[in-house]
Amino acid sequence: MIGTFSYTVLLTYLSALSASAGIVITLTGIGHPYVGIFFLMVSGFCDAFDGRVARRKKDRTDFEKKFGIQIDSLSDLIAFGVLPICIAHATVGVSPAFNGIWGHPFPENITFSSVFFMAIMLWYILAALIRLAYYNVTEEELQSEGGRRTYYVGLPVTAAAVVFPLVMLLQYLLEQDITLVYFIVMLVMGIAFVSNVKVPKISFKVIIALCIIGLAEFITLIVYLN
């Protein structure tokens, strides 16, 4: 079989599968649209540790390292690029203010709101794609030179695993329609993905702290859904 199937990429594969399940659920209505947020957080947990797990294998070949870079970014595009816009689409579907704008046949469905939301979703996925491609190129160059990354250029797309669950949490805490807020955050994050700002690489302690925050969001959402 082609590819790599060692434990070094197991979490990456799990992240991609979790995100894919979230996409199916949010788009088909198998469960509540916001259930996709849970799959987003699961992907976030997997991504938080996949790189550390991979680096524990000291005898990785150059192929395994390059494959790891590519498969990680492809998984991230699904989990933190595609899944958030599917959640956004489903959020519009259950919004009291915007419910129904996707359901009308063309061209009746062309309204300012539908065009505005669609433009933001397209912008977000394009920005995530560019950000990940840029990361892949720079990471390969860095590894070929034997360097070590200390910062990122642009906001890492994995920030979606913390930001969007927090935004969605407001839906339950405030009991207000936060559809517009979700899309504004998505617009800002897309800009941050491709911005020329240096974001320090976070330490393992910060990763643990973010995981605790994510776990707290996870538990709170379960409580409010019940």
Other Cβ atoms within 10 Å of 93 Cβ, number = 18
The size of the chain, in residues, is: 226
- β-partners of residue 216 are none
Q: Per residue in 86-123, pLDDT tens? A: 999 888 887 777 766 665 555 556 677 888 999 999 99
* Per-residue CA distances from 102 to 6, 91, 106, 111 (Å): 42, 11, 9, 10
pLDDT, mean of residues 27-47? 82
Q: What is the pLDDT of residue 61?
A: 83
Q: Please tell me what DSSP assigns to residue 202.
A: P
Report the greatest alpha carbon distance in the chain: 59
Q: What is the pLDDT of residues 156-206, one digit of tens each?
A: 999 999 899 888 888 777 777 888 999 999 999 999 999 998 888 877 677
**pLDDT at position 131:** 95
* Three-class SS of 142-182: HHHCCCCCCEEECCCHHHHHHHHHHHHHHHHHHCCCCHHHH
| Residue 184 neighbours by CB distance under 10 Å | 13
